Amino acid sequence: MTSRASCRHTGRWHQAAQGGFSMVEMAIALVVAGLMSWAAFSGYETVTAQQEIERGRAEAEQLQSIVRAFALRHGRLPCPDSDAVADGYENPPNGNCAAGNQVGWFPYVSMGLPMPTDKFLARYSVFRAANLADPGRDADLAVVTERTRDPDPAVPGNSSVPTYRDVTDLIAGLNNASNTAIVPFSAARTYLTGDAGVAGAIDCAANQVMAAAYWLIVPLQDRSGDGDRFDAPHTPGSACAASPSAPLRFGSDDVVVAESPGQLAGWLRRSLP
């Protein structure tokens, strides 16, 4: 009797144990499944974020190529779209960039491009340092100005009238902009701050690194959480941008492209026929 009772008890214990192990195994399976789902979702987020970054870089590089081509053809840099709500046109749209207009939206329509959705509109700034008294020292890169005093070859014998304006005048303006003896550095003009590395802190007030012929900023996500897709140090109306070599950070994923006056002048010289 005792033996049968013992067997029945042992059998029930085995059944309970088997049931208990099944519950544990199920719990483990659920945990593993959860971890796999989390890993898959995290991987998806990482891939999506990387794709967005690559798209932002590709767009910024395309805009840079268009700025260069425009400069080579017109002998000036584009004038910003300074409207509060971007319409895609230079302001004004007649090539006579209004004094003081150096920061705004990229003028997509004037450059022959379709307007992107609002959240991906790029900011754009151009270096401007006009010298109306001495055009040979002028560095207003958004206007066409006779700076080299070269005669118009289309008018033979008219060498005394220096009115031939072309890309060489823009190169002269770029050379003036890069010469601090002619145009002293000023944070009121288009410039770059550091890169959080060899160029120092990303700080527009404390680390003003160098003048830029232009910069372009393509925003991605609102990493700072302030409701603005442009992240620090990029603020509306500021002539400052982070160095293009700055790594994308937790609090900022803006993509920046820029060239110093010397860099753009070199590219234009190499591109001349």
User: What is the tens place of the pLDDT at every residue in 148-191?
Assistant: 877 666 666 555 555 678 899 999 999 999 999 999 999 999 99
Residue 12: pLDDT band by 50, 70, 90 thresholds?
low
Q: Kindly give, in sequence order, each residue whose CB lies less than 8 Å from that of residue 61, ignoring residues fewer than 6 positions away.
A: 257
Tell me what pLDDT residue 28 has.
73
Amino acid (1-letter code) at residue 104: G
Burial 70-109 (b: 16+ CB within 10 A, else e): bbbeebbbbbbbbeeebebbbbeeeeebeeebbbbbbbbb
User: What is the tens place of the pLDDT at every residue in 251-265?
Assistant: 788 999 999 999 999
Residue 1 lies in a domain: no
Residue 249 lies in a domain: yes
What range does the domain containing 262 cover?
Answer: 52-271
Residue 35 lies in a domain: no
Tell me what pLDDT residue 3 has.
52
Tell me what pLDDT residue 20 has.
53
DSSP symbol at 132: S
Tell me what pLDDT residue 120 has.
79
Residue 26 lies in a domain: no
**pTM, to two decimals:** 0.79
For β-strands 191-192 and 240-241, DSSP reports them as parallel
Q: Considering the chain, what percentage of its residues have pLDDT values greater than 70?
A: 79
Q: Rounded CA gap, 190 and 89, in Å?
A: 20
Residue 84 lies in a domain: yes
Residue 41 lies in a domain: no
141 near 170, Cβ under 8 Å?
yes
Least Cα distance to 212 among 95, 108, 123, 81 occurs for: 123
Domain count, the chain: 1
The separation between the first and the last C-alpha atoms of the chain, rounded to the nearest angstrom, is: 110
Least Cα distance to 189 among 257, 101, 72 occurs for: 101
Radius of gyration of the chain (CA): 30
Residue 257 lies in a domain: yes
Residue 40 lies in a domain: no
User: What is the tens place of the pLDDT at every residue in 97-152?
Assistant: 999 999 999 999 999 999 988 777 999 999 999 999 999 999 999 999 999 877 66
